[in-house]
Structure 1
Amino acid sequence: MAPRSLWTGAVSFGLVNVPVALRSATRDLAPHFNLVDEKTRTRIEIRRVCSKEDKPVDWDEVAHGHEVDGECVMVTDDELSALEPRRTRTIDIEAFVDVAEIDPALYDSTYFVVPVGGEGAARAYRLLAEVMDQAGEAALGRFVLRTREYLAAMRVRDGVITLSTLLFADELRPASALGDARPRRSRPAKKKIDQAVKLIEALGSDFDPTAYEDRHRKQVEQLVKAKRKGQEIETPDEPETPAVASDLMKALEESIAAVRG
C-alpha cells in the first residue's frame, strides 16, 4: 500500500513552481510491545495525574509550563500559536550544495517528493529532477510542516526526488561537550597507521544496503514465535567486553592475514 500524503504544496525554483506532495520514505518495522499486567495480560492504562494533589487532570485543565532556574513559567496556547511560523505551501529552494558537504549527522526524516496536479506538474517535476540529477548536488530549502519550520535537503534517488529534513547546527552537540571523555588527539606511529590502512583496504567494498539486515528484529520475531509455541527460552550470559590488544601491531598483521585468507 502506497504511503499517504503528509503535506501538499509546491517546490519553488526561481519562477518555476512544481506542485508536489510529501510521502514518507521510511517505515517502522521494529516489533512493538504493549505494557500489560503480568497476571491478567491486559493492557495497562496511563492516566494524567497531578503529582501534588494525586488526582486525575482533565484535558481542559492541562497547561504548558516551562521550567527556568527552578521556576515554572506558564505559557498559554494562544501565546504559542502567535509564534508559529507563517504557514506556506511552498518548499523554497535557497541554494544548491555539494552533497558531500552535508554532515550525515544532520539528516533526520526522509520523504518522497511526488508530483500532483496532472501532466503539466509531471513535466515540471521531471525537468527539476533531471536538472538536480545532472548537477549532482542537493537543493536546500525551508518549508513548514504542521507547526514547525524545517530546513531540508532534496536529492534525486532512483529517478524520484527525496526530501530529508535536517537538524539545525546548534542541535548537534560539539565534540567538546564530551569533556574528559573526549579522546586525546595524538598521532600514532606511522607503521601502525600503514598497517591499519592496509586492513581498511582489505575490507574495502562497494556499499550495498540490501546486504545488511536488522538481525535483532528477526531474533525478536523468532522469540515471539517460540514463546507462542510454548518453547522454553534460555537467556544467554552477558557477553564480556573484548580486552584491548596488548600488541597492536601483531593484532593488525593477524587481522590483515585473516581477511586476505
Structure 2
Amino acid sequence: MRALRSGHISFGLVTLPVQLFAATEEHGPGFHQVHASDGARIRHRRVCELEDREVPRSEIAHGWEAPDGRTVVLLDEDLAVLPLPTRKTVEVLGFISERDVDPVLYAKPYWVGAAGEAGQRPYALLVEALARHGTVAVAKVTLRTRERLAVLRPRHGMLVLHTLLWPEEIREPGDLSSASPVTDRELELAELLMDQLVGVDIADLHDEYAAALEQLVDAKHSGGLLAEPEEPVPVMDLMAALEASMRSASDRPTGSS
C-alpha cells in the first residue's frame, strides 16, 4: 500500500511518527456516461468562464469567496502552509468509551502504521493501552484541505484512524419515530425470531450488484427481458407475519445464515 500521508500522533508528551493508508476501496460497476442516442462517450471539460477555453489541471487552483464578493485564489503551496497544528500531527484530545461515539458520525477508516524504528515502541504502547483501557482516542487531523474529527482505536494489534463527521454536519431528522403501540406478545415473538436468525457472518456476504448487472447487460444485448423483482407486501397482520417468520426460520438448515 502507498502511504497517503506521513505525520505524527501526539498524546500528552508522547509523539510517534506514523503513516496513514487507505483502509477501503469501492468496487463500482464501471459505468461510463454516454450519449443515449448513439452510445458515444460523454467528456467533461474544465472551461474558464471568462476566457471561454479549456484549462489544464496544472492551471486550476482553489477559490474562496470573500464577504465582499471578491474571489481569493489559493494555490496548493498556499494550503501547504495553512496554520493548523493538525496539518502535520494527529492531535489526541482525550479518551472516551466507543459507546459514546454515535455511529452516524463515522465517515472513513484509515490504517495507521508506525513510521521508522522510533515509532515502533510508542505505537505498540498506544495500541495495547487503548485495548486494555477499553477506550478510543478522540483526535483532530487534517486530510487534504480539511480538518476532521477522528477516533483512534485498536484492531488486531494495529491502529485504525476513523474520521468522523462534525456534529453540525448531521442533518436533524425531526421525529421519525412511530407512536404505534406494540403488545408484549409481539415483542416476545420478535425477540424469539431474532434468536432464530443469529449467526450471520458478514465476511461471507458479497455484493451481488455486479452479477445482477451482468444479467441485465446480457438481456439487453440479446433483446430479452428480465423479470421485475416482486414488491414487498406491507404487513397487515403483524402477529401472523411474526408467527410465519418463526416457522420459516425454524425450517432453515442448522448453521445457515
Partner of 1:145: 143
1:55-114: CA deviation from partner (whole Å, max 9, x where unpaired): 546476988476x9xxx9443125996895525311111111111221211111111100
C-alpha spacing 1:160/1:86, structure 2 compared with 1 (3 Å): same
Partner of 1:35: 33
Measure how far apart 1:240 and its partner are.
4.0
Partner of 2:244: 254
One-letter code aligned to 1:184: S
C-alpha spacing 1:73/1:256, structure 2 compared with 1 (3 Å): farther
Taking the aligned partners of 2:121 and 2:96, their CA distance within structure 1 comes to 24
**Is 2:105 aligned against 1:109?**
no
Partner of 1:204: 198
Partner of 2:233: 243
The question of whether the paired residues in 1 share the 8 Å contact of 2:61 and 2:75 is answered with: no
Partner of 1:100: 99
C-alpha spacing 1:127/1:65, structure 2 compared with 1 (3 Å): closer
Partner of 1:129: 127
One-letter code aligned to 2:91: D
SS class of match (2:99): helix
Q: How many residues are matched?
A: 245
Bigger drift between 83-92 and 159-168 goes to 83-92
SS class of match (1:175): coil
Partner of 1:5: 3
1:173-197: CA deviation from partner (whole Å, max 9, x where unpaired): 1220x7xxx3432331222222212
SS class of match (1:76): strand
One-letter code aligned to 1:243: V
Taking the aligned partners of 1:221 and 1:157, their CA distance within structure 2 comes to 36
Taking the aligned partners of 1:130 and 1:98, their CA distance within structure 2 comes to 15
SS class of match (1:199): helix
- RMSD between aligned residues: 3.4
The question of whether the paired residues in 2 share the 8 Å contact of 1:31 and 1:221 is answered with: no
SS class of match (1:214): coil
One-letter code aligned to 1:200: M
Measure how far apart 1:145 and its partner are.
1.7
One-letter code aligned to 1:148: R
1:220-242: CA deviation from partner (whole Å, max 9, x where unpaired): 35666x58xx9626342433422
Taking the aligned partners of 1:150 and 1:61, their CA distance within structure 2 comes to 24
Bigger drift between 182-191 and 242-251 goes to 182-191
- TM-score normalized with structure 1 length: 0.79
Pick from 74, 77, 81: which aligns with 2:73? 77
In the TM superposition, 1:176-191 aligns within 5 A as: 176=174, 182-191=176-185
Taking the aligned partners of 2:166 and 2:243, their CA distance within structure 1 comes to 42
One-letter code aligned to 1:94: L
Taking the aligned partners of 2:75 and 2:17, their CA distance within structure 1 comes to 33
1:177-220: CA deviation from partner (whole Å, max 9, x where unpaired): x7xxx343233122222221221222123x53212111113433
SS class of match (2:122): helix
Taking the aligned partners of 1:157 and 1:124, their CA distance within structure 2 comes to 16
Partner of 2:213: 220
Measure how far apart 1:39 and its partner are.
7.7
Partner of 1:194: 188
Q: Which 5+ residue runs of structure 2 have no aligned equivalent?
A: 252-257
The question of whether the paired residues in 2 share the 8 Å contact of 1:5 and 1:21 is answered with: yes
